[in-house]
Amino acid sequence: MAFVGAAAYGVWSSSSVRVDSSSISATTFNGELAAITTSTPLQCYLTALAPASYSPGAGAASVAASGAAAWANLRVEGVALENYVARHFHYVATASDLAQAKDSLLGEMTQSAASHQLSCPGSSAEALAAMTPEMRTAEIRAQAYSLFLLSKMNSTIPLTAANVKAYYKAHVADYDTLCVSVAVVPTTSVAAFAHDQAAGMSVADLARKYSLDASKVKGGAYGCYPPTSSAYATVRADVASTPLNTFPSSPRAIQSNGATYALYVAATKRSVTPLAEAQGAVVADIQSLNASSANTLKESILYRAAITVDPALGRWGLTSSGPMVVAPATPPAADVNSTSILVTAPTSAYQ
């Protein structure tokens, strides 16, 4: 989820969240926001779970509006999920379930921070300890009820060692270590590039003739990417639909210094990656599949729940990302002269 907004929400204003017959009092919610603003580790790990600015707002004892809305979303989702599971499955989390949920939550926080390339100060355990008792209990309970619901869904894959191994065996080619060549081509040369490619010109010769990337002197050879590489998912997507040593017929558009270029990527070598090395990517793919299924069910639960949010926190409504709390609208960010900053992107393909 992405949240925007720069206004400040006062921690001590009167606010509350209600989901069906459950409610979060203003005192409880404000205490949670205060805990967030005073703990840098907690702010960092929450940013990984729900990207937003959780830093203090412009006034004393306040939090940025985007952070208040993002936290309200997490709390609404947790309460709605717990209510749904309790009502339809009559499930009550045991002490053992809660202990397992705590470990799962800590692992999810750590993994989310890593996947977002966030170097959070302190551990996820320290972030959890920085929460108020009510806040910590609510998040662990929400995790327990979420895990229970996932176990009841036929469309999800439980993250057991056996399932990870089976998924890897069934999709082993998806985790090949990929060596690639690239060509960054001006849009004015795309037609000529396509003509020469159709005539049988090799990947290396096409890169030498047309590419603006520094790798052109090596025939476009850009390097090899194992599943442990942070760029692996992007590289894999770029070469997924084309045979070995072949540039795709439809390039990907990239921006650099205000201009648009065509990026061609070809796999020049594939080698099987052992499960021990590919396991992180396998787990991430399974989690993505599970998250997609869970998100569909979560949206269905939220559509049916009766939810009200104090207007100071934002507006509960339907967005392109589903039902959520939308932060209060704010004026456009600009200086007194209405100037803007142009940020340029590098020419290199994977940075």
pLDDT tens digits, the chain, 351 residues: what are they? 333 333 344 443 444 799 999 999 999 999 999 999 899 999 999 999 988 888 776 554 467 788 889 999 999 999 999 999 999 999 999 999 999 999 999 998 998 888 788 899 999 999 999 999 999 999 999 999 988 988 888 777 877 889 999 999 999 999 999 999 999 999 999 999 999 999 999 999 999 999 999 999 999 999 999 999 988 989 999 998 899 999 999 899 998 888 899 999 999 999 999 999 999 889 888 888 887 887 888 889 999 999 999 888 888 988 888 889 988 765 555 444 444 434 333 445 555
What are the beta bridge partners of residue 177? 271
Query: Within the chain, which residue ranges are assigned CATH 3.10.50.40?
Result: 177-271
What pLDDT score does 41 carry? 94
pTM of the model: 0.61
Question: What CA–CA distance (Å, rounded) separates 113 from 110?
Answer: 5
Question: What CA–CA distance (Å, rounded) separates 62 from 227?
Answer: 42
Q: Cα 39 vs. chain centroid, distance in angstroms?
A: 22
Question: What CA–CA distance (Å, rounded) separates 296 from 280?
Answer: 24
What pLDDT score does 305 carry? 92
Residue 317, CA distances (Å) to 33, 71, 311 in order = 22, 16, 12
Q: CB-based contacts of 336: which residues, under 8 Å, 6+ apart?
A: none
How do 259-271 and 322-326 pair as beta strands?
unpaired
Question: What CA–CA distance (Å, rounded) separates 232 from 242?
Answer: 16
Residue 243, CA distances (Å) to 193, 248, 289, 310 in order = 18, 9, 26, 55
Q: Cα 176 vs. chain centroid, distance in angstroms?
A: 23
CATH number of 177-271: 3.10.50.40
Question: What CA–CA distance (Å, rounded) separates 69 from 139?
Answer: 16
What pLDDT score does 194 carry? 95
Q: CB-based contacts of 276: which residues, under 8 Å, 6+ apart?
A: none
What pLDDT score does 52 carry? 87
DSSP letter string, 69-138: HHHHHHHHHHHHHHHHHHHHH-----HHHHHHHHHHHHHHHHHHHHHTT---SS-HHHHHHTS-HHHHHH
Question: What CA–CA distance (Å, rounded) separates 69 from 54?
Answer: 10
How crowded is the C-beta side of 180, counted as CA atoms within 13 Å?
25
Place of tokens 């790990």: 45
Torsion of CA 97, 102, 106, 112, to 10 degrees: 60
What pLDDT score does 346 carry? 43
* Residues 217, 223, 224: CA angle, nearest 5 degrees: 155
Cβ atoms of 62 and 8 within 8 Å: the answer is yes
